[in-house]
Structure 1
Amino acid sequence: MKIKSVHIKNFRSIYDQKIIFYNITNFVGPNGAGKSTILYALDWFFNGNKYTQLSEKDATFGHSKENIEVSVTFDNLTDYDREIIGSQYVNDDSNEFTVWRIHKMLSDEEILSANVKGYPPFSETKASKTATEKKNNYQKLRDNMPDLGLPDRKRQNDIDEALREWENTHPENLEDIEESLSTSFKGFAGEGRLSKLFEYTLVRADLRANEETADVKKTLFSNIIERVVDRQLASEPLQELFDSVQDKEKDIYKKYYANPLNELTSALNEHLRQYSVGRKVRIQPDIAEILPPQAKFNIAVIEEKFSSNVENQGHGFQRTLLIAALQLLSENASTETSKELCLAIEEPELYQHPIQQKRFAHVLKKLTASSEKKIQVIYAAHSPNFLDVEKINQTYKLKRNSVENDDIHTEINNISDQELLNINPNKPDLIKNALGNELANGIFSEGVF
């Protein structure tokens, strides 16, 4: 399952833009054009929670009262994807699936919604807010559409069950309809269904490698570990080890404290019997249960005989370490994993010599070379070394455009292969083969002649 397209509405400088995504999707443009905004919008969509609530400052200038919305359409669904998503939302033939996240500015409420299969005339009854409203809407359905053969139902749960039963027995009448979900898609960053199928990891420009090499959820290093290591593999022997430690702890307590505690218990019970008949107490060691932690790993930097932390290294080495980690991911990513990984990298050229930039671009291209590895890459770059002239349609150029009432929005444009060839139809290979890197440089220019 991969990202096919993204629709961003009213998020920072992007007011209303739909973007088609590829295995590698590149965003270029001047500083402040909105490249990082796309990456951050997706980060909010996949990883946002109650601690990353949006505010009116995150809305497009002049639209602070309008809702913020990001929708993502996935395609290339597998049987496993459809099984996890559920038959309520996709059927056996579905190859696409859309989810949107909405922040309601007037109430600060956030909802996750998905396209569901249903019978459109039932939507009003399903959306009823009270039992009485649902009962009245259901009766109106029966009166206006008697051919449906809906049974007479009065209770709210019975009405819901009747509608579900009708839809289950009439799949040919079902369509994709928009329906707000209260629980099914809560918690993208937790136990939600999509979190089992898709992982979005954002490598920010200001994020140092020590953060991405920490073995915590959603970091680059953690994703590498998850794809090559089964953390539960050592759980059983570790539990046995901790159990044996606990047994030894009990033996030590018994050796050193049994006698004095028994004497103290007898003395206390002797006094207690004067006030309470039939009950006594026992003073015993408080043996805390010891549970083995989840297997975790770390990276140490070794220089000659000395070892240091990643955070103590310079920016150049830290960025180089990220590149090496990405290359490792491209070489060792398990093709058996059921989870898709989307890597979003802000300014991948940061702290890199031009030769290293080209190497990094090669690594990113290799990451997505095989569809079996289930990896997509998105980056916002300032360097032509990250543009693939052979796939120039996968690059979007952003610019800020002032419209009426000084309302400033981001415009997003790309050029198709056909449009590129139409520049000189008599020499279809001229642009790609003859211009080479000059074309990549031209993408960053205001004009080319």
Structure 2
Amino acid sequence: MKIKRVRIENFRCLHKVDVAFDDITSFIGPSGVGKSTVLRALDWFFTGEKDVALSTDDVHSATDGARISVEVEFDSLTDYDRKTLGRYAPDGAENVSIWRTWDNGVDKITGKAFTYRPFEEVRQYTKAMDRRRAYNELRESDPSLGLPAAPNADAVNEAMQLWETSNRDRLTESEVEDTHFFGFAGQSQLAKLVDFVFISADLRAYEETDDRKSTAIGQILDHAVDRSEASRQLSDIEETAHRARREVHAQVYGPTLDEISGALSKELLKLNS
């Protein structure tokens, strides 16, 4: 899948912006109009507070309150994309929308999902015991659903998901908050499908050539090449250079240091006698 459209509200210099993306998208304009800000908004959308922490300084000055929203619509979904996204992209879905909001320090991720509404009432319970109780009440009140017994919260979640997969015709679209998109709780689903690497215009490439996976160039290299052989050869070079430095030190400084050490020892012996 790929990015089709991005909608940004109240992020830095961008009040309300709607950007359509083609196969190749270029931003052209004078400095200060928000070209890089669009990309930085996407950087926050994909990486979140882990790498891009927001504050009230990032909120557009003309807005009331302190709420930032970045919505990304994806299209060209494959069967693998739909399988990975589950209820957010059912069979036949051509696109999916996910948005991230920041409101006075509260970070939320929301997506349009097809769900069975009574299940959403069960899912609203965060405590395992309460969720299991709500599930059992629904199961007993409507035997026609054919829900299985679930001994724990994980079994409850799995039973509801399997039922929704088998009963697509009874699902309705709803907005669902879910941290699994980015891996804050459990395995990241979106990270399996999209890699976003932001490289600032002031990047100094020669500073990025070191083998550090956290750098922008390092992230690209991780996806483009197998660096294990290069790492091994570089390690050998560093070890050889280290031995060479020790030999130079021994040859150049060794005799002089030995002479100084001997002289100091003699003077110390004189003080002790």
What interval of TM-score do these two structures reach, taking the shorter chain for normalisation?
0.5 to 0.7
Which amino acid in structure 2 is aligned with residue 179 of structure 1? Answer: V
| Structure 1 residue 204 corresponds to structure 2 residue 180 | no
Give 1:18's aligned residue: 18
Aligned length: 232
For residues 66-113 of structure 1, the C-alpha deviation after alignment (integer angstroms, 9 at most, x for no partner) is: 321212111112334334x243433343332222222231xx232333
Give 1:111's aligned residue: 108
CA-based RMSD of the aligned residues comes to 3.9
Give 1:93's aligned residue: 92
Higher RCO, Cα 8 Å, sep 6+: 1
Alpha-carbon separation, structure 1, partners of 2:27 and 2:210:
27
- Structure 1 pair 296–166 and aligned structure 2 pair: CA distance change class (3 A): farther
> Equivalences for 1:113-262 in 2 at 5 Å?
113-129=110-126, 135=133, 139=137, 149=145, 157=153, 160=157, 163-186=160-183, 192-215=188-211, 216-217=213-214, 219-220=216-217, 222-224=219-221, 226-227=223-224, 229-231=225-227, 234=229
- Structure 1 pair 7–148 and aligned structure 2 pair: CA distance change class (3 A): farther
Give 1:386's aligned residue: none
Q: What's the CA shift for 1:11?
A: 0.8
Alpha-carbon separation, structure 2, partners of 1:57 and 1:95:
37
Q: Which has the higher helix share?
A: 2
Q: What's the CA shift for 1:139?
A: 4.7
8 A contact 2:100–2:107 mirrored in 1: yes
For residues 207-237 of structure 1, the C-alpha deviation after alignment (integer angstroms, 9 at most, x for no partner) is: 222245444345246525632x3345x5xxx
Which amino acid in structure 2 is aligned with residue 100 of structure 1? Answer: W
Alpha-carbon separation, structure 1, partners of 2:52 and 2:12:
15
- Structure 1 pair 221–136 and aligned structure 2 pair: CA distance change class (3 A): closer
Which amino acid in structure 1 is aligned with residue 90 of structure 2? Answer: N
Which amino acid in structure 2 is aligned with residue 122 of structure 1? Answer: F
Give 1:8's aligned residue: 8
Alpha-carbon separation, structure 1, partners of 2:233 and 2:201:
26
Q: What's the CA shift for 1:6?
A: 0.7
What's the TM-score, normalizing by structure 1? Answer: 0.43
Which amino acid in structure 1 is aligned with residue 60 of structure 2? Answer: T
Alpha-carbon separation, structure 1, partners of 2:191 and 2:62:
34
- Structure 1 pair 115–295 and aligned structure 2 pair: CA distance change class (3 A): farther
Give 1:37's aligned residue: 37
Alpha-carbon separation, structure 2, partners of 1:161 and 1:24:
40
Segments of structure 1 that go 5 or more residues without pairing to the other structure are: 235-292, 298-449
Alpha-carbon separation, structure 2, partners of 1:81 and 1:73:
14
